Amino acid sequence: MQLRHFDSDGVDIAFIDEGEGDPVLLIHGFASNIEVNWVGTGWVSALRRAGHRVVALDNRGHGHSEKIYDPAAYAASDMAEDARRLLDHLGIERSAVMGYSMGARITAFLAIRHPGRVERAVFGGLGINMVRGVGDPAPIVAALEAGSLEEVPDPVGRTFRSFAEQTGSDLRALAACMRSSRPRISPELLGSLAMPVLVVVGSADEVGGDPHLLAELIPNGRAVSLPGRDHMKAVGDRQFKEAVIAFLREP
pLDDT at 247: 98
Q: Distance (Å, rounded) from C-alpha 177 to C-alpha 197?
A: 26
pTM for this predicted structure:
0.97
Q: For residue 42, what is the DSSP state? A: T
Listed residue (201, 251, 249, 193) closest to 226, CA to CA: 201
Instruction: Tell me if 107 sits within 8 A of 86, measured CB to CB.
Output: no
Q: What is the pLDDT of residue 184?
A: 85
Domain range 4-133+182-249, CATH architecture: 3-Layer(aba) Sandwich (3.40)
CA 144 to chain centre: 20
Q: What is the pLDDT, as a whole number, of residue 134?
A: 84
Nearest Cα to Cα of residue 107 among 37, 18, 166: 37
Residue 101, SS3 per DSSP: coil
Tens digits of pLDDT across the chain (251 residues): 899 999 999 999 999 999 999 999 999 999 999 999 999 999 999 999 999 999 999 999 999 999 999 999 999 999 999 999 999 999 999 999 999 999 999 999 999 999 999 999 999 999 999 999 988 899 999 999 999 999 999 999 999 999 999 999 999 999 999 999 888 899 999 999 999 999 999 999 999 999 999 999 999 999 999 999 999 999 999 999 999 999 999 99
Cα–Cα nearest to 183, from 127, 134, 115, 126: 134
Residue 142 amino acid letter: A
